[in-house]
Amino acid sequence: MNSSPILIWLRRDLRLADQAAFHAAASTGSPVIPVYVLDDETPKHRRMGGASRWWLHHSLISLDADLRAIGSRLILRRGGCEDVLATLAEETGAREVHALHHYEPWWRNAEKAVGERLLLHLHHGNYLAPPGSVLNGSGNPYRIYTPFWKNLRERMPPSVPLDPPSHLPAPQAWPASDALDAWGLEPAAPDWASGFRAEWLPGEAGANSRLDDFVGEAAQYQAQRNLPSIEGTSRLSPHLHFGEVSPATIWHRVASAGGSVQTFLGEIGWRDYAQNVVLQLPQYGSQNATSAFDALPWRSGPEAEADLKAWQQGRTGYPIVDAGMRQLWATGWMHNRVRMIAASFLIKHLLIDWRRGEEWFWDTLVDADYGSNAVNWQWSAGSGVDANMFVRIMAPLTQSPKFDAAAYIREWVPELANLPTGEVHDPLFRPAGYPRKIIDHAEARARALVAYGVMKERKSAEIK
């Protein structure tokens, strides 16, 4: 038996079940040292936002407890991944590192750097199929979702999930570990996470509990997913993002539910699609995929900044938008239909660059995923490779009653809680403390269409 320890490098794969790196390392019989590196250097401006850091804190606590139950523990270190792992290898005599593939541009750079200094074994397991492996007839990756999903669907089901290891051999001596509390991942002054604690249970056990709850509802997904007052979505997105449950595990648990479960599976496929897009276009979170949108005259200056702040605070005077933004701040999550409405409102009603919204979601969402966040914002803006048309301007005051959001609004906008259903979506008389509309819908629509026309004229002039 090889007595040299094996390092397991953890990032967004904080689970034991169906975790190929743990499985491969355990099968060698060598001592295993799981390590999480808090690396804010490699991602630079893409370091995790506040909501994600709160989740990470509790997910690491959960994983450490699970590891201790099988004779192991979690080592915490902070710094650049390649330097930290190389130092750990020197301290422990480890010769190999096992990890799951990650596809964000900064993690791909980090994997290359680690691989140049250590023997790095990368495994798949964060997606239904390895990003970049679903190809069209010409051998190229897809940029449009529908043919991508059709091809991916034909390759399903995914492999049967791996069982968690029952034991991990420990090294003769554990290397030093940082204290988790010293990382300051939880908010202190002010403590804005009380709603998070009431809403979420980060960790593998929490993911399994959430999945258990959803299995019985999966057949009704199509009918319920667009109704904010019911919240008929799975709410598995943060658990998936942090790798506390694998997409293969979810697939095998829900695929036989019947009803409209295929719609839900398509949403899991959208997550794969988003990662395939950023694999091809690494700067998708900061650059328009359609270059014509570089010429769109977004609003800027003090008035636009005041409107952005009103949107962030849920003070636009549009109840469905305000409810969503307040839910986001309180819980780190927003209903999927309302995310679309709120994103469209920022882009088209307020004519504020989609990147400002993407930045806000990156900081405030517990499921802030680079691929999904970027692809969804560019879909809303119309600038993406597969996107909604900019001229299709979503009407919040129509969306709200259409999707029966009255109870949702009453919950998150208490100023309107006593209004009857017929008025809560767009109250004619504003209760004390609730603002007037930041802009009239017709005025906002006209302004957006003018800006779109300017963009087309500028692009046409460039071509000439």
Catalytic residue set: 267, 270, 298, 336, 354, 377
Q: What distance lies between CA 360 and its chain's CA centroid?
A: 13
Cβ atoms of 43 and 106 closer than 8 Å: yes
Q: 């997606």: which residue's tokens?
A: 127
**Which of helix, strand or coil describes residue 32?**
strand
Bridge partners (DSSP) of residue 33 are 7
Rg of the chain, C-alpha, whole Å? 23
Distance CA 179, CA 177 (A): 6
Instruction: List the one residue out of 240, 238, 241, 258 whose CA is nearest residue 249.
Output: 240
Distance CA 205, CA 244 (A): 8
What is the DSSP-derived secondary structure letter of residue 217?
T
Q: 């979503």: which residue's tokens?
A: 394
Nearest 5°: the CA angle 464, 298, 366 is 125
Nearest 5°: the CA angle 22, 84, 57 is 65
Nearest 5°: the CA angle 50, 55, 57 is 95
Which amino acid is it at 201? L
